[in-house]
Each structure stands twice: as structure tokens, then as C-alpha cells.
Amino acid sequence: MVYRVRILPGALQDARNYYEFIADYSPEIAVKWFEGLFEVVNSLSIMPKRCPIAPEADLLGQEIRCLVYQKFYRILYSIDENVVRIYHIRHTSQDFMA
């Protein structure tokens, strides 16, 4: 089964913020980071259940999963029927969402 991936506005803003932060140091690395992020996000169209349940799931009362990108970015998402919804992209140094 192929899932449709939907990036919600909050996650898109998260990605933009990280892109801008990285671009302050290196625009070339920021572009590669951004492109790689969306490649990884789009990989969730196949086997999105491969990633573990995020710690936030218990707090939110919803099955939230976590895909780690480049060891430092957590992509938080849910699966509903055939749609993967990306909620947030958070740095691993940030506290878990509440």
C-alpha cells in the first residue's frame, strides 16, 4: 500500500526555521539538508509503520510516530488510513512535546 504524505503547516514552518538557521552558516548545506529532509519525509509513503511510537504519544493520547533524520531531527507524524500526517520537525535537543 502506498500512503499519501501530508505536511502540515507547523511542520513546514519547522523545516523553514531550521533551513534558515543552517543557511546562516552555509547556504549550500542548508539546501542539501532541506532536500534530504523532504526525501526522507516522502519515504514515509512506503512502510510508515517502520518507525517507533514517539514518547509524545502517551501525552497526546494519539499514536504519534517518530522518524529521525540525520541523527538530530525528529519528524513526528501519525498514520490515518492511507494518509501520513507530518505534525512537527524537532531537534533532538528540544524537550518532548507536551
- What are the pLDDT digits (tens) for 34-82? 999 999 999 999 999 999 988 877 776 788 899 999 999 999 999 998 9
pTM reported for the whole predicted model: 0.88
For the chain, the average pLDDT equals 90
Its CATH architecture, for the domain 4-91, is 2-Layer Sandwich (3.30)
Buried b (16+ CB within 10 A) or exposed e, 69-78: eeeebbbbbb
How far, in Å, CA of 37 to CA of 68, rounded? 10
Three-class secondary structure of residue 66 per DSSP: strand
Q: Look up residue 31 and give its three cell numbers.
A: 539546501
Considering the chain, what percentage of its residues have pLDDT values greater than 90?
A: 77
Band (pLDDT 50/70/90 cuts) for residue 98 is very low
Region for 18 from its dihedrals, namely left if φ exceeds 0, alpha if ψ lies in -120 to 50, beta otherwise: alpha
